[in-house]
Structure 1
């Protein structure tokens, strides 16, 4: 969107329309004590072409994921998104109103969301899914609130393998409230969340594959939680893994939340993304967000409507099921189109290819002197331990054009025993040449 400045005549006309004599009068309600008393040291104005050239130069300093070997994951993953997805999301059938409260003019959006919900329910092995959330972290926090409403208990236990940013989001949501237990980081899969479950526990939150790449024993966790009357919330940050790993719903999960970015949505410098939330049908009345359903019109023709929406409670905000009153419509559309193009067979092949690339990466890293791979199990992500500070190694490799993963200390500053750890991911876009370049550069830095 281009910036088009207003002329003095434009400003005068707008001020007159609202009955204000000047811009200063417009802001007269702002106390003088909070107004700035200095002039910002900004450069003189420039012509449009000069500003564009400056912005292009700044953009040229970025090192994009496709510019070289790329092993960054930790909740957002580089996958191939077919050009068909970008073409189809721009078709007029989907360009309906932002909020589909008028079904007669929103059938494209509503049907897409209905299909999206069906796909998410199948992927997660659950009975019902909503029309998406903002992202995986807020979906996790909403699932925690949902579990507390269902069980009428307060205690929630977060696994040490939960993504640190997801944990922080839950902490923010429950700020000032009691009952939240955050277990210590478990880079080697250690720690037993089962020991923290008691009769006052509303839910345990477990990620699989977890932040460090480990696969967790979901059935055992489900049994332990259910024996105490608690719910099991399973978090999936790499949704492609469900093409190969059994669905959490089939393993005993009560609520499944996930980040759907990997399907249909590029990295885009961190967002927007699309949160997935699915649950047992008996919990649907406590599910946040909105739910699209199927019906028939007066002539008996198939149609779609908003069946449930927490926005209906917005006039009683403190009593609302959720105060997230929307969904990530465009990202959900991209997800649904890409998954439709893949189909079940395609998703399975994509997942197998991701795992094969990760196996090749793990084998290559394990052969580097001084590198220890901590995972006995993984999907497409793993954690390694180096003989010295990981952040320094990552920075040195970045200077060589190799993005070698995420130092754990970046997301868990101050935690003990994490400063030498790196989380790395491999996807279908990771080549043998990428792995070889990483290995050789790593050997050089560790020599």
Structure 2
């Protein structure tokens, strides 16, 4: 009986080790994967060589003459990583961008905002309305949960990213967290009038939330943006092609004969061989999953590659997960730190996932924001349009139907002031 228990524990440990490695490798970029395998090679004598990323790749994407082995010499802390990602945001007003950067500097090591909005506004000499805009930009940065002021807000921000943003979450946090702790699906469903499936998904996603998102950005090696694949048009058909560096090729030594070794040495090498087999399986799984996910994204967004940003379609992690019968966290890890080379430049894969502006309308939020920005750019600056008039213009020009409050929200996220503050005098 004891022997059986030990065997089960050993098997369980092996399975957990393999699963952990697969999850870890899944979220690595091509460069990070190469570096990961290089470190394993230092401890595994069976690895003879790894096909490197050649110098031509670095020159093509960065014009950098440094050798690949020296690329990751420097490291970035949480604050530096977040500031580098601010350039991904469309912030039209410099004062708001500066406020976002100030907000990043005001985070504690766990990623929580360590300053009140009132003090933030005073320090940046901005209004509370403008600071709310800056907070919205800050909280849109990766990883989800960054910029939260409380644990509840941190979890809420992460659930929103998972498309699990229910109107009753505030009440759940304050009064019924025991339902989550006890994984009471039936009572949770009954209390908030949702299905058992929705309750189960909410419980699962809450367990996946990280209480300290800043810890996910602890000093990491400098990230060099090199795409995993290229999207291009050939003979009137859009194609997805992966670069060879997306999956490193491991060359195994063939000159080691186990029969000629002492038992201890042979056992050691057998264990190292098993480790390589698990590594190979994990790399194969990463490659297969990444290809499946990217093909779904590219096929969904073909109109974007043809026409540009205004043709982006709504697409969520959950939709992809449903198609592939995988958990949403697996999809999230798969696209983490991944980039595509396109006719529009090198794009973060996550950019091609957009939430719907209004359920059932089939139009992405980022597209509506572009329309709002264009309408305001074309307005008579002596008679700027109110949010209600912008709403009507959206209906008239683009057949987009959203509420006035939605227009106001998007305008603020774009860093555009209200009509009264945009008005330009003629005298």
TM-score, structure 1 normalization: 0.24
Higher helix share goes to which structure?
A: 2
